[in-house]
Chains A and B, each alone.
Chain A
Amino acid sequence: MNDYPRRITLQEWDAHYVQLREAGMREPPYGGTLRRHVEEGDLRLRTLLFDNSSAALRLWNFLLTEEDRLREARTAGKKIVGTMKDLGTVPVMAYALPNVVAFYPDGAWWIPCVMELSEGLFGIADSLGIDEAFCPVRAMLGAFITEAHFPVPDLLICSAGATCDDFSAIAQRLNGLGYPIVWWEIPHRRIPDPDEERVELPGGFAAPASQVAFVREELERLRTVLEQFAGVPLNDGALSAGIARANEVRRLLAELRQLTFTAELCPLPALEMLIAEMLAIHFCSDQAETIEVLRELLREVRGRVEARQGVLEADAVRVFWVNPVADLQVMNLLEDCGGRICGTEYLFSHALDEIPENLPPMEALARMALADPMVGSAADRAARICADTRRFGAEAVLISRIPGASHCATEGIIIAEAVRSRLRIPVLEIEVPPLSDSIKPMLRTRLEALIETSKELRKTCCVPE
């Protein structure tokens, strides 16, 4: 039994949960009320608005129980690999092995927001010399020290090279504290010279064949590391099967994104879509369950689209969102101001694009790794953002600056210029700290201005070319 789709508060979820249970809702073992996560410290949930479907409940519960899953995996004798920074490539390899679970310690990025700073991770990072000049991923250091948010992995693999300085510096700090790290190089993706062999990458970028070959060699090196770690061979057959499973997740997400971003009425709120997209990176430590969670969500969205039901006003302005937002509440705020998300680039588009299955698996993975929007130029990333903005028919672009992030200082300007000149639609750049309550009125004013401007433009023309 689901009510008419809408966004509800945590308090409303308490009563709604009881109703759903009484109506026969069946839940996975990690199911339960959202309220219990607040009791465990996820205080931010008290201020968020959630989708009211059982599919969304399952999604939230899946996300918020990852730590339990990792600890259970350890107890069950599974090996845990912490993959760092590459956002999507190495987990595909790790999950191709039996008995290995991979996750991103980088995910600690959101802990200070979700726990409303009660966990003290920034304080620990500060004491290690990693202060607010760095992006919120610095919370990861504290999470390693306290061991209160994830078990310390048995193996750490981190990409370096064309990455942000924040992460590279923080990972090095971690390494300096005595956590061994296997580093692998991801080179800055460049435009092939005219006399160079060119390789098309998933998502539309291109790279010189020599760079693809280089990354492939690096991944081969990781294959050996993983084989030794797991004590079993990681052959091409297993890798291909792993790629096929990852692609199943990506296909489900592609349909979910297409339906949600293009439906006349918005069938699923921005927050739930953000979490769903994040599942593509490392499957929230359970690949099979990720597929089930997404299937249920997709069924819900399909049903709503067919029934012409939505969670927001019909005239909500279609906004393309760039970068993950440090305070989840701001996704709600955009919707409160009359916007809806129609397209995203949360720094990991390469984890959403299907991995080619008609290539040798390591070649396919190398191409995927090089398709990372953050390893190329800001102009490349801007081009992709423009293409996807067009594809989803967004009417405005919102760039969410990440406090301290080394890439945000320059790329926001480049992306904004590209959007304005190519699409001639409004662009807004905001900076959102992990807890934005004190600047909420200012953020609201700016978001409202964006929405109003976009609505005004509707009267004058204005379909982007």
Chain B
Amino acid sequence: MKTVVYVSPFVPQEWIAAHGLQPSRVLLEHTKRVAIAQPAAGVCPFARAFIAFGLSLTDESAIVATTECDQMRRAAELLAGESSAPLFLLNVPTTWQTTTAHRLYISELERLSAFMVRLGGKAPTKEELTDVMLRYDALRAEIRGARGSLSGRAYSEAISRFHREGAADLSAARAAPLARGVPLALLGGPLTGEHFRIFDLIEEAGGQVVLDGTETGERTLPRAFERRRLHEDPFPELADAYFGTIPDAFRRPNSQLYHWLKGETARRGIRGIILRRYLWCDTWHAEVQRMKEWSPAPVLDLDVGDDDCESRAASRIQSFVGMLR
């Protein structure tokens, strides 16, 4: 079975699985891969890691890239010319408040379907799609339900593994309540494999991530499917659960992100926000100061470059958490 790889949360896992292909929202490797990707200066390290990853693939896989930012759009162009894996560029509109934007997203999913059929997949019937959606929805519910019994890192890793492999591995869950440090939100773009270490750094400093608002974490889980709409017609429900509700900085306007954060911050008693952004990522960079002005809780701006210097990040996190204790 061909694997369809992607990094964007706006590529519905179920849509790929329902076509009989293996979806995998991959976890990129930051340090190893980034060195071989060209060009370097001015390109966000995550986009570079994506380029490097795409170049390493064979035609056993296919890539779905998205247009959420200029850098990814251009990375996709580069890969379309140079990767051995076939590539599909999914146009994810940045606007979301209009019916035209929703329709565009739906039509893009239809185009993706045609692409997957060309890869050897089969367009699903309504029933087939419904079954797959119910299965994934149940797995997501299971993962969400385990949040209180997982450490911040384990919870995020479980979400990431689910995105990668379509399975809910909750073996790290503990029955006893977890010891808690200063409750923090981690916000920003996607993590790479090496970056899960940040959860440990935060815990070592006396904090605890109780809200993973990175692109890899719970922020980008689609909402639970509404059963009545799902059974009436699963495809529009699928599109709406993803496009209609996932909050992100790139969306225009990106008020959903602030709305979501406000609610979760209050619900989880968050006392500080760590905004982690890649160098050259304009999308998140531009939110830093706004977030500081907006948030009642203090915000730490943590930038991630090519040579991710852990000791620098650790000392900044330490001072930040120290200030909050």
Binding site for B on A (CB under 8 A): 127-130, 133-134, 158, 160-166, 168-173, 175-177, 181, 183-185, 187-188, 190, 193, 210, 214, 217-218, 221, 377-379, 404, 406-411, 413-414
Contacts and interface: CB of A to CB of B under 8 A. Distances in A.
A79 to B, nearest CB: 23
B95 A184 contact: yes
B95 A129 contact: no
A161 B93 contact: yes
Interface residues of B, number: 45
A322 to B, nearest CB: 16
24 contacts: A129-B285, A133-B285, A134-B286, A163-B70, A165-B69, A168-B70, A168-B283, A169-B282, A169-B283, A169-B287, A173-B286, A177-B290, A183-B95, A183-B253, A184-B95, A185-B95, A190-B89, A214-B103, A221-B98, A407-B70, A409-B74, A410-B39, A410-B71, A410-B74
Interface centre among B75, B94, B97, B279 (most CB of A within 10 A): B94
Interface string B74-87: 11011001000000
Contacts of A130: 286, 289
Given A183-B252, A185-B100, A187-B91, A410 B78 contact: yes
B282 A134 contact: yes
B282 A161 contact: no
A165 B104 contact: no
B94 A185 contact: yes
B286 A218 contact: no
Nearest to B90: A188
Interface of B: 39, 41-43, 67, 69-71, 73-75, 77-78, 81, 89, 91, 93-95, 97-98, 100-101, 103-104, 107, 111, 114, 250, 252-254, 279-283, 285-290, 292, 294
Closest 3 pairs (CB-CB, A-B): A129-B289, A409-B42, A169-B286
A218 B97 CA distance: 12
B71 A406 contact: yes
A214 B252 contact: no
Nearest to B253: A175
A260 to B, nearest CB: 32
Among A133, A411, A413, max chain B CB count under 10 A is at A133
A168 B107 contact: no
B89 to A, nearest CB: 7
Given A163-B70, A183-B95, A378-B77, A170 B286 contact: yes
Given A173-B286, A185-B104, A410-B43, A168 B77 contact: no
A190 B88 CA distance: 11
B107 A210 contact: yes
With most chain B CB atoms within 10 A of its CB, the pick from A127, A190, A409, A413 is A409
Contact of A165 (B107, B254, B283, B294): B283
B42 A188 contact: no
A409 B39 contact: yes
Nearest to B115: A193
Given A165-B282, A168-B250, 9 more contacts: A133-B280, A165-B69, A165-B281, A185-B98, A218-B100, A378-B74, A409-B41, A409-B74, A410-B74
Nearest to A407: B70
Contacts of B78: 410, 414
B91 A406 contact: no
A160 B94 contact: yes
B55 to A, nearest CB: 14
Given A183-B95, A410-B43, A165 B253 contact: no
A382 to B, nearest CB: 11
A216 to B, nearest CB: 10
Nearest to A380: B77
Contacts of B74: 378, 407, 409-411
B125 to A, nearest CB: 22
A193 B290 CA distance: 41
A187 B105 CA distance: 11
A165 B254 CA distance: 14
A159 B282 CA distance: 17
Contacts of B95: 160-161, 183-185
A176 B103 CA distance: 27
Given A172-B253, A221-B98, A190 B91 contact: yes
Contact of B70 (A129, A158, A406): A406
A408 B292 CA distance: 29
Nearest to B288: A129
Contacts of B252: 158, 160, 168, 171-172, 183
